[in-house]
Amino acid sequence: MSTIFNAAPTLCKIGDNLTEYLDELIEKSKSLGRNLYSSVSYKTTFSDPLALLEKLNLSNQPHCYFEKATDDFSIACGEYLAHQEFSGPDRFQLAKSWSTELLKFVEQAGDTPVAGSGPTLFLTASFESGSPGQSPSSLSVFLPKWQVVHHGGEHVITLNTQISPNSHADAIQQDLNNRLNSMMGLKHEKISEQLLQPTHLGKSKENFVYEEGVNQALEEINSGKVSKIVLARQLTFDLHSTLSPFVIAHALRAKYPDCHAFSLSLPDQGTWVGASPETLARIRGLSLRTEALAGSAPRGPSAGKDAQWGKTILAREKEVREHKLVIESIHRRLSSVGVTSLHEGLPRLLRLANLQHVRTPVQGKLPDGLHPFEVLSALHPTPAMGGTPRPPALTKLAEIEKAPRGLYSGVAGWMDSRGRAEFIVPIRCGRIQEHALTLYAGAGIVDGSIPRNEKHETDWKLQAMLEVITGSPNLPE
């Protein structure tokens, strides 16, 4: 005869005693003969996820942080509770299978009204798919030990714990209390009082000569093999002082509220920090939202000049062609996995502090049963990051760039147990390692591209990171 377990608490308040519920989970673990995971969510008063992450972060431990100030949304998490890595062309499919199986054994307690609360998996994937068994792997997906999410006036802390047949409810309850007390004691802390002092950077080393690379890409385009190739620069500087990704992220979220400020750390791989203007996929129920982002111009010194440059990228043949390629590819790729009712909005300007881009929102309806990771597999890499047609563009790109991009222009984001998900493309960013800083910037090369102009575009895109790190938007001489 099977054991009947009571329902999980639907509302958990800080200070609640959950030992009776935890005892039931331990009994369930015994009856199944395997480990389970408890995910307890607590509504709380104001908390800043980035401030909490800065205070709770442990050296060389994984973390993820995302914030879009104009959406009044931020989320942060830290430390692996359950974790798996994959590489190869089917990495998103493998991650889907692992995640689906894991979530079957996660027991949820507490209210989860906010997307990103309750059991939530965080994913990072490099631009390159890599090959099976490679190290480091090209995709990492994990259930964190803790996460905190803020949206509008709601704030939720989620604590995840492994439950084994040998667990003790009192010990788990004490651990929950200790972790909550630690987090609540920090909730009113501000981001580090350490000011972001300008950091001196010497001359950088680049992965290839950019204008020569653009000429190589144009030869491939003129041969008819591809219609677009995106080439990215990697500029690596020696570091002689410590850079805090959290202080950089704080500066970026204030200066670029229309972007996704982010910080992504993987053990022994450093930390990527930046402010990306590009949403790859936002999923709520069966509703999918993505976007085409292509075409760039600087901001003007006056309202008139600003409007003139904005009008130029909305109408100039090169930008129109580049934007059309991205939209057509998005429609084709999403249709191939069964997404229907695809339609795009009108192109509009996304005006940032230092740049303006052409952005076209694209919406669609997901078929029942299509997993968010399958959407990522269809979309990544978009023509805005790789080129089109995809296979020959990626082959030529790798040949020219000479060095793997890592998380730059890859995928990063989260998916909760209710299927709510949001993923970004990590661009406009830098990678901080112990003694090195690498900054990244790319541009789309199409018929009509001028090598000098494309390099200038990448210089504009480097300004965001350069200014918050060095105090100047210009590259060191």
Q: Which of 24, 278, 319, 401 is catalytic?
A: 278
Contact present, 89 and 130 (Cβ < 8 Å): no
Spatial distance between the Cα atoms of 290 and 422, rounded to a whole number of angstroms: 10
Both tokens assigned to 255: 């200066």
| C-alpha distance across the termini of the chain, in Å | 76
Spatial distance between the Cα atoms of 279 and 381, rounded to a whole number of angstroms: 13
Q: Verify whether residue 278 is a known catalytic residue.
A: yes
Q: Is the peptide bond before 298 cis (omega within 30 degrees of 0)?
A: no
Bridge partners of residue 200, in order along the sequence: none
**Beta-strand pair 106-109/36-43:** parallel
* Selection from 89, 406, 441 nearest residue 230 by Cα: 441
Q: Verify whether residue 228 is a known catalytic residue.
A: yes
Both tokens assigned to 468: 């918050």
Spatial distance between the Cα atoms of 335 and 312, rounded to a whole number of angstroms: 31
Q: Which of 228, 396, 455, 461 is catalytic?
A: 228
C-alpha distances (whole Å) from 116 to each of 2, 13, 113, 123, 258 are: 33, 18, 9, 13, 20
Give the residue numbers marked as catalytic. Answer: 228, 278
